[in-house]
Amino acid sequence: MGCTCNARREVGEQTVGQGRPAYASGGHLRPQADIPTMSDEPTAVIRDYYEALRTGDPLEAYFEGDKSTVKFGISEALFGSDEVGEALRNQTETTAEWSVESGHLVVTTHTDTATFADEVTMAWTDTESGERRRFETRWSGSLVHQPSVESGGRPEWLFETMHVSTADTV
Protein backbone atom coordinates (compact mmCIF):
# COMPACT_ATOMS: atom_id res chain seq x y z
CA MET A 1 0.00 0.00 0.00
CA GLY A 2 1.57 3.30 -1.03
CA CYS A 3 1.42 6.75 0.49
CA THR A 4 2.78 10.13 -0.44
CA CYS A 5 4.93 11.68 2.25
CA ASN A 6 5.00 15.46 2.55
CA ALA A 7 7.98 15.38 4.84
CA ARG A 8 11.26 13.59 5.16
CA ARG A 9 11.17 10.85 7.79
CA GLU A 10 14.21 9.16 9.26
CA VAL A 11 13.92 5.82 11.01
CA GLY A 12 17.28 4.86 12.39
CA GLU A 13 19.56 5.49 9.46
CA GLN A 14 16.81 5.29 6.82
CA THR A 15 15.17 8.30 5.22
CA VAL A 16 12.01 8.86 3.23
CA GLY A 17 12.12 11.93 0.96
CA GLN A 18 9.78 14.89 0.55
CA GLY A 19 6.81 14.24 -1.70
CA ARG A 20 8.13 10.81 -2.67
CA PRO A 21 6.10 7.64 -2.52
CA ALA A 22 6.90 5.31 0.34
CA TYR A 23 5.49 2.10 1.73
CA ALA A 24 5.06 0.70 5.21
CA SER A 25 6.81 -2.51 6.14
CA GLY A 26 7.09 -3.97 9.61
CA GLY A 27 5.64 -0.81 11.14
CA HIS A 28 8.32 1.46 9.64
CA LEU A 29 8.38 3.61 6.53
CA ARG A 30 10.92 2.29 4.06
CA PRO A 31 12.27 4.30 1.13
CA GLN A 32 11.71 3.10 -2.39
CA ALA A 33 14.86 2.50 -4.41
CA ASP A 34 14.67 5.87 -6.22
CA ILE A 35 14.65 8.00 -3.06
CA PRO A 36 18.06 9.58 -2.43
CA THR A 37 19.59 9.75 1.03
CA MET A 38 18.68 13.09 2.60
CA SER A 39 20.56 15.28 5.06
CA ASP A 40 20.21 14.24 8.69
CA GLU A 41 20.88 17.60 10.32
CA PRO A 42 18.12 17.38 12.99
CA THR A 43 19.16 13.80 13.76
CA ALA A 44 22.77 14.95 14.16
CA VAL A 45 21.69 17.72 16.58
CA ILE A 46 19.73 15.22 18.70
CA ARG A 47 22.70 12.86 18.81
CA ASP A 48 25.02 15.79 19.63
CA TYR A 49 22.69 16.70 22.51
CA TYR A 50 22.94 13.14 23.84
CA GLU A 51 26.72 13.37 23.62
CA ALA A 52 26.71 16.75 25.40
CA LEU A 53 24.75 15.10 28.23
CA ARG A 54 27.33 12.30 28.43
CA THR A 55 30.29 14.68 28.54
CA GLY A 56 28.80 17.32 30.83
CA ASP A 57 28.87 20.05 28.19
CA PRO A 58 26.46 23.02 28.40
CA LEU A 59 23.01 22.15 27.02
CA GLU A 60 21.27 25.53 26.88
CA ALA A 61 22.58 26.35 23.38
CA TYR A 62 20.54 23.46 21.96
CA PHE A 63 17.26 25.20 22.82
CA GLU A 64 15.39 28.00 21.09
CA GLY A 65 15.80 31.26 23.02
CA ASP A 66 12.10 32.07 23.15
CA LYS A 67 9.33 32.38 25.73
CA SER A 68 7.43 29.62 23.89
CA THR A 69 10.22 27.06 24.48
CA VAL A 70 8.97 24.18 26.64
CA LYS A 71 10.82 21.28 28.26
CA PHE A 72 9.12 18.59 30.30
CA GLY A 73 11.64 16.48 32.18
CA ILE A 74 11.11 13.36 34.25
CA SER A 75 10.10 15.47 37.27
CA GLU A 76 9.79 19.03 35.97
CA ALA A 77 7.82 21.31 33.65
CA LEU A 78 9.75 24.29 32.29
CA PHE A 79 8.18 27.13 30.31
CA GLY A 80 10.26 29.69 28.43
CA SER A 81 13.92 29.72 27.55
CA ASP A 82 14.89 31.40 30.84
CA GLU A 83 13.46 28.53 32.94
CA VAL A 84 14.82 25.91 30.56
CA GLY A 85 18.29 27.46 30.58
CA GLU A 86 18.42 27.79 34.35
CA ALA A 87 17.33 24.17 34.88
CA LEU A 88 19.83 22.86 32.32
CA ARG A 89 22.69 24.82 33.91
CA ASN A 90 21.71 23.46 37.33
CA GLN A 91 21.49 19.93 35.92
CA THR A 92 24.98 20.20 34.42
CA GLU A 93 26.38 21.51 37.72
CA THR A 94 24.77 18.84 39.93
CA THR A 95 25.09 15.67 37.83
CA ALA A 96 27.97 13.63 36.40
CA GLU A 97 28.83 10.30 34.79
CA TRP A 98 25.96 10.35 32.33
CA SER A 99 25.04 7.34 30.24
CA VAL A 100 22.62 8.00 27.38
CA GLU A 101 21.68 5.10 25.11
CA SER A 102 19.30 5.78 22.22
CA GLY A 103 17.06 2.82 21.45
CA HIS A 104 14.74 3.90 18.64
CA LEU A 105 15.32 7.41 17.32
CA VAL A 106 12.77 8.49 14.72
CA VAL A 107 12.99 11.95 13.15
CA THR A 108 10.60 13.57 10.66
CA THR A 109 11.90 16.70 8.95
CA HIS A 110 9.79 19.36 7.25
CA THR A 111 11.16 22.51 5.63
CA ASP A 112 11.86 24.49 8.81
CA THR A 113 10.70 22.10 11.55
CA ALA A 114 11.40 18.57 12.68
CA THR A 115 9.79 16.22 15.17
CA PHE A 116 11.47 13.36 16.99
CA ALA A 117 10.76 10.45 19.30
CA ASP A 118 13.13 8.02 20.97
CA GLU A 119 13.37 5.40 23.67
CA VAL A 120 16.40 6.27 25.79
CA THR A 121 18.04 4.47 28.68
CA MET A 122 19.79 7.11 30.75
CA ALA A 123 21.68 7.18 34.00
CA TRP A 124 23.66 9.75 35.97
CA THR A 125 25.18 10.39 39.36
CA ASP A 126 23.76 13.14 41.55
CA THR A 127 26.93 14.97 42.64
CA GLU A 128 25.30 16.32 45.82
CA SER A 129 24.01 13.01 47.21
CA GLY A 130 26.25 10.57 45.34
CA GLU A 131 23.13 8.63 44.32
CA ARG A 132 23.18 6.87 40.95
CA ARG A 133 19.90 7.32 39.05
CA ARG A 134 18.79 5.20 36.05
CA PHE A 135 15.61 5.41 33.97
CA GLU A 136 14.05 3.89 30.89
CA THR A 137 12.63 6.98 29.21
CA ARG A 138 10.58 8.12 26.25
CA TRP A 139 11.57 11.32 24.49
CA SER A 140 9.64 13.42 21.99
CA GLY A 141 9.72 16.97 20.80
CA SER A 142 10.20 19.44 18.00
CA LEU A 143 13.10 21.36 16.53
CA VAL A 144 13.07 24.54 14.44
CA HIS A 145 15.57 25.53 11.79
CA GLN A 146 17.38 28.78 12.58
CA PRO A 147 19.85 29.44 9.78
CA SER A 148 22.47 31.91 10.88
CA VAL A 149 25.61 33.22 9.26
CA GLU A 150 27.20 33.64 12.69
CA SER A 151 25.74 30.90 14.84
CA GLY A 152 28.23 31.37 17.68
CA GLY A 153 28.66 27.61 17.91
CA ARG A 154 24.91 26.98 18.24
CA PRO A 155 23.37 24.32 16.03
CA GLU A 156 21.13 25.62 13.25
CA TRP A 157 18.40 23.23 14.42
CA LEU A 158 17.21 24.07 17.95
CA PHE A 159 14.80 22.30 20.28
CA GLU A 160 11.55 24.21 20.61
CA THR A 161 9.87 21.54 22.71
CA MET A 162 11.17 18.47 24.50
CA HIS A 163 9.29 15.93 26.57
CA VAL A 164 11.09 13.24 28.56
CA SER A 165 8.95 10.81 30.54
CA THR A 166 9.29 7.47 32.26
CA ALA A 167 7.00 4.74 33.51
CA ASP A 168 9.52 4.15 36.32
CA THR A 169 9.00 5.47 39.84
CA VAL A 170 10.80 8.78 40.22
Q: How far apart are CA 147 and CA 168, in angstroms?
A: 38
Residue 21 falls within a domain, yes or no? Answer: no
pLDDT single digits (tens) 62-74: 999 999 999 999 9
Residue 28 lies in a domain: no
Domain-embedded: residue 43: yes
pLDDT tens per residue, range 88-110:
999 999 999 999 999 999 999 99
**How many domains is the chain built from?**
1
Q: Is residue 78 part of a domain?
A: yes
CB burial readout 4-27, b (16+ within 10 A) else e: ebeebbbbeeebbbeebebeeeee
Residue 54: CATH number of its domain: 3.10.450.50
**Which structural domain, as residue segments, surrounds residue 100?**
39-166
Distance CA 90, CA 92 (A): 5
Q: pLDDT in tens for each of the 170 residues of the chain? A: 333 334 444 444 333 333 333 323 333 333 333 222 323 489 999 999 999 999 999 999 999 999 999 999 999 999 999 999 999 999 999 999 999 999 999 999 998 999 999 999 999 999 999 999 999 999 999 999 987 645 566 678 999 999 999 988 77
